[in-house]
Amino acid sequence: MAFWLFKSEPDAWSWDQQVARGPAGEEWTGVRNYQARNHMRAMKLGDRGFFYHSNIGKQVVGIVEVCGLSAPDSTTDDPRWDCVTLRAVAPLPRPVTLEAIKAEPRLKDMVLVTNSRLSVQPVGDADWQVICEMGGLSTPP
C-alpha cells in the first residue's frame, strides 16, 4: 500500500466536508498540475493519504483512503485532467502542524517541506509512521 498527501484549502473543501460525505467519498476534483495528476493516476484502491489544510490551519487533520481510481475530472471538459475518489477514514487526535513537521529532523525531506506547492504528493512509509505517531495514532487505522 502506498501513502500520499492531499492539500486543500479548508475554505474550498474542508476535512469536515470530507467526513460528511461518508463512505461514498468525494471526487478530488480541481487538480490542474501534471505532477499531481500523475500521482493520482498511480494510486490504487485502498491507498491511504493525509488530508492537509493549507493556508488556514496549515496542518494534517485526518486520514483518507482511495476508494475510486483515477477517472476524468467532471469539473472540466479538458481531457488532460483526472481525479481519484477519497473517503475519510479517521481524524488525527492531534493535528500535526506544518511547523511541527518542519521541526522534526526525520521529516526534513518530505515533499511538503521541499516542494510546498505540490498539491498531491507521495509520502514515504517512514514519514507516514512518524506523522501518525505525532498525531496521536500509535496504530494507524
Partner DNA sequence: GCCAACGTTGGC
Q: Please state the closest distance from residue 42 (CB atom) to DNA, in A.
A: 16
> In the bound complex, what is the minimum distance in angstroms from residue 139's beta carbon to DNA?
27
Query: In this chain, which stretch among 14-22, 38-46, 95-103, 133-141 interacts with DNA, using CB under 7 A?
Result: 95-103
Q: Judge whether 122 and 3 are in contact, CB under 8 Å.
A: yes
- For residues 7 and 60, the answer to whether their CB atoms sit within 8 Å is no
Please answer whether residues 92 and 63 qualify as being in contact, where contact means their C-beta atoms are separated by less than 8 angstroms.
yes
Kindly list the strands in the beta sheet with 120-123, ordered across the sheet, starting from the edge strand earlier in the chain.
26-27, 82-97, 59-72, 48-53, 3-8, 120-123
Q: Is 58 in the site for DNA (CB under 7 A)?
A: yes
Number of chain positions touching DNA (CB under 7 A): 17
Residues in region 62-91 near DNA by CB under 7 A: none
DSSP string over 73-136: -TT-S-TT-EEEEEEEEEEEEEEEEHHHHHH-GGGTT-HHHH-TT-SEEEE-HHHHHHHHHHTT
Q: What residues numbered 2-21 form the site for DNA, per CB under 7 A?
A: 7, 9
Which residue from 17, 22, 41, 99 is in contact with DNA, where contact means CB under 7 A?
A: 99
Candidate segments 51-59, 63-71, 85-93, 123-131, binder of DNA by CB under 7 A: 51-59
Q: Out of 117, 126, 133, 136, which residue is the one contacting DNA (CB under 7 A)?
A: 117
The residues binding DNA (CB under 7 A) are 7, 9, 32-35, 54-55, 58, 98-99, 102, 115-119
